Amino acid sequence: MVQEKKRAINRLETMRPIRAEIDETYKQSVEAVKAGNPIAWVMVNMWLGDAILHAMDIGAVYPESYGAVCAAMGAAQSYLDRCEEEGFPTHMCGYARNCIGYTARMMKDLGGKIPPEAPMGGMPKPAVLLSRGSSCDAGFKWFQALARYMDVPMWTLEMPVPGVKEGLSEGVRERNVEFMAKELREFVSFLERIFGRKMDWDKLSQTVRDLEEIGRVWRETNELRKTIPCPMHSRDFWTCMNGPTTPTGDLKKKLKLYRDLYDEVKHRVENKINAVAQEKYRVGFTELPPWHSLKVFDTLAERGWNFVVETWGYHPPVPIDLTGVNDPLERLARISYSGFTTGSFQGAMQAGEYMGFLGYPNLEYAKEYKLDGFFLHPLLSCRAASAHLWYVQDRLMQKLKVPSLLIEGDIVDVRMFDLADALKKAEAFEEIMDHYKKVRREEGMEW
Amino acid sequence: MSVVEGTKGLSRVKELYQDRPHRVKELKAEGRKVIGYLCIYPVLEMMTALDLVPYRLFGDMREPITKADACLPPMVCPFLRSSLDLALKDKYPFLDGMVLAHICDVGERMAHIWRTYKEYPYFYFMDVPHTVHKAALEMFKEEIKGFQKSLESFTGKELSSERLKQAIGVHNDQRTLVRELYDLRKPDPPLITGTEVLQVMVALASIPVEEGNDLLREVINEIKQREEKPQKQAVRLLVWGSIIDDVSLIETIENVGANVVMDDICVGTRSHWPKVELTPDPLDGIANRYLEGIKCPRTFREAALDQGGKNYMANLENRFGYLKDYIKGWNVNGVILQSVRYCDTHGYEVPAVRDYLKSLGLPSIYLEHDYSQSSLAPLKTRVQAFLEVLG
SS3 string of A39-79?
A: EEEECCCCCCCCHHHHHCCCEEECHHHHHHHHHHCCCHHHH
Please answer yes or no on whether A186 and B130 come within 8 Å at the CB atom. no
The confidence score (pLDDT) of residue B382 equals: 94
Residues of B in contact with A137 (CB under 8 A): 104-105, 298, 344-345, 348
The confidence score (pLDDT) of residue B219 equals: 98
Please answer yes or no on whether A193 and B348 come within 8 Å at the CB atom. no
Q: What is the rounded (10 degree) CA torsion for B177, B179, B184, B188?
A: 180
Burial class of residue B7, CB neighbours in 10 A (0-12, 13-18, 19+) = middle
| Three-state secondary-structure class, residue A154 | strand
Cα distance between residue B145 and residue B160, in whole Å: 12
Task: Could you list the beta-strand ranges (E) of A377-428.
Answer: 404-406
3-state helix, strand, coil in chain A (%, to 5): 55, 10, 35
B263 contacts B269 by C-beta, under 8 angstroms: yes
Query: For residue A8, is it within any domain?
Result: no
The confidence score (pLDDT) of residue A26 equals: 78
Cα distance between residue A23 and residue B290, in whole Å: 44
DSSP at A127 = S
Query: For residue A10, is it within any domain?
Result: no
Query: For residue A267, is it within any domain?
Result: yes
Cα distance between residue B302 and residue A130, in whole Å: 13
Cα distance between residue A354 and residue A360, in whole Å: 8
Written in H, E and C, the secondary structure of B314-340 is HHHHHHHHHHHHHHHHCCCCEEEEEEE
Please answer yes or no on whether B113 and A380 come within 8 Å at the CB atom. no
Which helix (H) or strand (E) segment holds residue A374: the answer is: strand A373-376
Parts of chain B with a pLDDT under 50: 1-2
Range of the domain at B134: 1-391
The confidence score (pLDDT) of residue B5 equals: 64
Of B246, B293, B276, whose CA–CA distance to B175 is shortest? B276
Cα distance between residue A290 and residue A267, in whole Å: 30
Question: What is the average pLDDT value for chain A, to the nearest integer?
Answer: 92
Query: For residue A4, is it within any domain?
Result: no
Residue B153 CB neighbours (<10 A):
10
CA separation, residue B180 to residues B12, B183, B287 (Å)? 19, 5, 25
B23 contacts B211 by C-beta, under 8 angstroms: yes
Domain total in chain B: 1
Cis peptide before A229 (omega within 30 of 0): yes
Cα distance between residue B204 and residue B20, in whole Å: 10
Residues of B in contact with A93 (CB under 8 A): 344
Pick among A125, A168, A179 to test the B interface (most B CBs inside 10 A): A179
Length of chain A: 447
DSSP at B290 = I
- Greatest C-alpha distance within chain A: 70
Please answer yes or no on whether B139 and A193 come within 8 Å at the CB atom. no
pLDDT of A245 over the 90 cut: no
Among B73, B126, B131, the residue with its CB nearest the CB of A390 is B73
Phi, psi (5° rounding) for residue A404?
-140, 150
Length of chain B: 391
Among B77, B104, B115, the residue with its CB nearest the CB of A354 is B115
B367 contacts B340 by C-beta, under 8 angstroms: no
Of A178, A233, A240, A183, whose CA–CA distance to A215 is shortest? A240
Residues of A in contact with B145 (CB under 8 A): none
Residues of A in contact with B345 (CB under 8 A): 137, 141
CA separation, residue A270 to residues A217, A225, B159, B257, B349 (Å)? 18, 12, 63, 77, 54
Cα distance between residue B47 and residue B44, in whole Å: 5
pLDDT digits (tens, 9 = 90+) for A103-157: 999 999 999 999 999 998 899 999 999 998 888 999 999 999 999 999 899 999 9
Residue A437 CB neighbours (<10 A):
18
B144 contacts B99 by C-beta, under 8 angstroms: no
Half-sphere exposure of A237 (CA within 13 A, CB side): 31
Query: For residue A96, is it within any domain?
Result: yes
The confidence score (pLDDT) of residue A2 equals: 52
Contacts 24+ apart (CB under 8 A), B365-368: B365/B334, B365/B335, B365/B336, B365/B337, B366/A87, B366/B337, B366/B338, B366/B339, B367/B336, B367/B337, B367/B338, B367/B339, B368/A89, B368/B338, B368/B339, B368/B340, B368/B341
Q: Which residues share a beta bridge with B123?
A: B98
Query: For residue A141, is it within any domain?
Result: yes
Domain total in chain A: 1
Cα distance between residue A97 and residue B125, in whole Å: 31
Residues of A in contact with B303 (CB under 8 A): none
Half-sphere exposure of A156 (CA within 13 A, CB side): 30
Burial class of residue A355, CB neighbours in 10 A (0-12, 13-18, 19+) = buried
Q: Counting one residue from A and one from B, how many pairs have CB atoms under 8 Å apart?
A: 176
Among A161, A169, A179, the residue with its CB nearest the CB of B102 is A161
A404-406 vs A373-376, strand pairing mode: parallel
Cα distance between residue B278 and residue B285, in whole Å: 6
pLDDT digits (tens, 9 = 90+) for A346-398: 999 999 999 998 999 999 999 999 999 999 999 988 898 899 999 999 999 99
Alpha-helical runs (H) found in B156-276: 161-183, 194-204, 209-225, 248-255, 269-272
Residues 6 or more apart whose CB falls under 8 angstroms from that of B201 comprise B178, B267, B268, B271, B272
B383 contacts B369 by C-beta, under 8 angstroms: no
A265 contacts A224 by C-beta, under 8 angstroms: yes
The confidence score (pLDDT) of residue A411 equals: 84
Range of the domain at A197: 15-442
Residues of A in contact with B146 (CB under 8 A): 166, 169, 172
Strand order across the beta sheet in which B235-241 lies: B258-264, B235-241, B334-340, B364-369
3-state helix, strand, coil in chain B (%, to 5): 50, 15, 35
Handedness of CA B69, A91, B298, B175 (dihedral sign): positive
Please answer yes or no on whether B350 and A384 come within 8 Å at the CB atom. no
Burial class of residue A364, CB neighbours in 10 A (0-12, 13-18, 19+) = middle
B35 contacts B54 by C-beta, under 8 angstroms: yes
pLDDT of A311 over the 50 cut: yes
Cα distance between residue A58 and residue A190, in whole Å: 13
A87, closest residue in chain B (CA to CA)? B351
Structure ipTM: 0.93
The confidence score (pLDDT) of residue A416 equals: 86
Please answer yes or no on whether A160 and B136 come within 8 Å at the CB atom. no
How much of chain A exceeds pLDDT 70, in percent?
98
Cα distance between residue A253 and residue A259, in whole Å: 10
pLDDT of A63 over the 60 cut: yes
Cis peptide before B189 (omega within 30 of 0): yes
Query: For residue A432, is it within any domain?
Result: yes
Residues of A in contact with B350 (CB under 8 A): 87-89
Helices B344-359 and A138-145, axial angle in degrees (round to 10): 20
Q: What CATH code is carried by the domain that includes residue B325?
A: 3.40.50.11900
The confidence score (pLDDT) of residue A249 equals: 82
CA distance A292 to chain B (A): 21
Please answer yes or no on whether B75 and A86 come within 8 Å at the CB atom. no
Cα distance between residue A251 and residue B304, in whole Å: 34
Please answer yes or no on whether B71 and A391 come within 8 Å at the CB atom. yes
- Greatest C-alpha distance within chain B: 60
